[in-house]
Amino acid sequence: MVVGTALFVVLAVLSNPAPALGKLFYRRTLLCYEYEKRRNRARRFPHSKKLWPQVMKMLAFKKVNMWFLPLILIGMLTGPVRAERPVHIVVETVLASQGSPYLDPRLSNLIGELQSVFRYSSYRLLSQTPMDIRMGETDMVSLPGNRVLKITPTKVTGNRVELQLVISRNKNQIFQTMIQLLNHGSIIVGGPKYKDGYLLFNISTSF
């Protein structure tokens, strides 16, 4: 077969040397180019033939599951939002004492609850402090007597939020407790002594 190919080349060259050689080298160049291109591709992707059916199966699987993708995205977007949303907290600092009867009119919606729990004759609102605190972060409320109330939301479980309360004076901790509050709920916490009475904190939350 080699002899026949050589004879064909010699005859073609003898009959019309320039065009025959040009066509022959052109075909040889194309064949070499195609061979090198396929060999380089095989080197770069040695497992392409084996991987292609697997890729097609994966694409078919993803195509079927595209129907569930919106539901997954909604769950991912709405799930963490609640955890990232800050907790709105309002702290009302009340001075409760024995002495001349006095009911602060600013505590009109709270007097009934205060009198049912405590036995003081005077209730005076000292401050009302709203704040928005993200989970794990801490905010502070200035209190009389060089005291500071630190509030830290620690976790939300269902419809309840857990708060850590710490009262310090001159950087020394004098009081600490954990409370749980329902969403849009409130609680009254007894605090330290101040002047002729005690500090009370009405803490309400919404989240």
Cα separation of 118 and 101, whole Å? 14
Tell me the one-letter amino acid at 160. R
- β pairing state of 87-97 and 197-206: antiparallel
Residue 57 pLDDT = 57
Tens digit of each residue's pLDDT (9 = 90 or more) over 147-171: 999 999 999 999 999 999 999 998 8
Cα separation of 178 and 171, whole Å? 20
Tell me the one-letter amino acid at 27. R
pLDDT at residue 77 greater than cutoff 70? no
**Complete DSSP assignment for 157-180:** ETTEEEEEEEEEETTEEEEEEEEE
Confidence of residue 64 (pLDDT cuts 50, 70, 90): very low
Kindly state the percentage of the chain with pLDDT values over 90: 56
- 150 and 131 in contact (C-beta within 8 Å)? no
Residue 79 pLDDT = 47
Kindly state the percentage of the chain with pLDDT values over 70: 59
- Average the pLDDT over each of 2-6, 37-41, 79-83 and give the range with the smallest value: 2-6
Angle, helices 17-44 vs 2-15, to 10°: value is 140
Cα separation of 117 and 103, whole Å? 15
pTM exceeds 0.75: no
Q: Which is nearest to 137 in space by CA: 157, 153, 150?
A: 153
How wide is the angle at C-alpha 181 spanned by C-alphas 180 and 187, nearest 5°? 100
- 90 and 203 in contact (C-beta within 8 Å)? yes
